[in-house]
Amino acid sequence: MQTQLKILHYIPVYAPAWQFGGPVLSVSQLCEELAALGHQVEVFTSNTGLNNQPELPLNQPVIRNGVKVTYFQQEPGIGIHCPGMEQAVTARAREFDIIHITGVWQRTSGAACKAAKNQGIPYVVSPRGALGPYSWQQKTAKKILYYLWQERFNMTNAAGIHYTSKQELQECHWLKLPGKSFIVPNGLNTEFWQPALEAAKAWRKSQNLSEDDFILLNVGRLHHKKGLDLLPQALARLRHLNWRMVFVGGDDDGTKAKLQQQFQSANLSDRVIFLERCEPKKLPAIYSAANLFVLPSRHENFGNVVVESLACGCPILISNKVGLHNEVAERGVGWVRSRVASEWTEAIEELIQFPSKMQKVISASKKCVESTYSTKKTALQMGSYYLETINKQYINESKI
Label residue 54 by pLDDT band (50, 70, 90): confident
Mean pLDDT check: name the lowest of 80-84, 173-177, 333-337, 360-364.
360-364
For 118-132, the pLDDT digits (tens) are 999 999 999 998 998
Q: pTM here? A: 0.88
The angle at the Cα of 88, spanning 82 to 94, to the nearest 5 degrees, equals 145
Residue 395: per-residue pLDDT: 62
CA distance 380 to 38: 11
Residue 397: per-residue pLDDT: 59
User: What sign for the dihedral angle of Cα 262, 265, 266, 268?
Assistant: positive
**Domain 6-187+374-399 belongs in CATH node 3.40.50.2000:** yes
Residue 35 neighbours by CB under 8 Å, 6+ apart: 41, 66, 67
CA distance 134 to 140: 10
CATH of domain 197-372: 3.40.50.2000
Label residue 320 by pLDDT band (50, 70, 90): very high
Residue 72: per-residue pLDDT: 96
| Range(s) of the chain covered by CATH 3.40.50.2000 | 6-187+374-399, 197-372
For 198-214, the pLDDT digits (tens) are 999 999 999 999 999 99
Burial 294-318 (b: 16+ CB within 10 A, else e): bbbbbbbbbbbbbbbbbbbbbbbbb
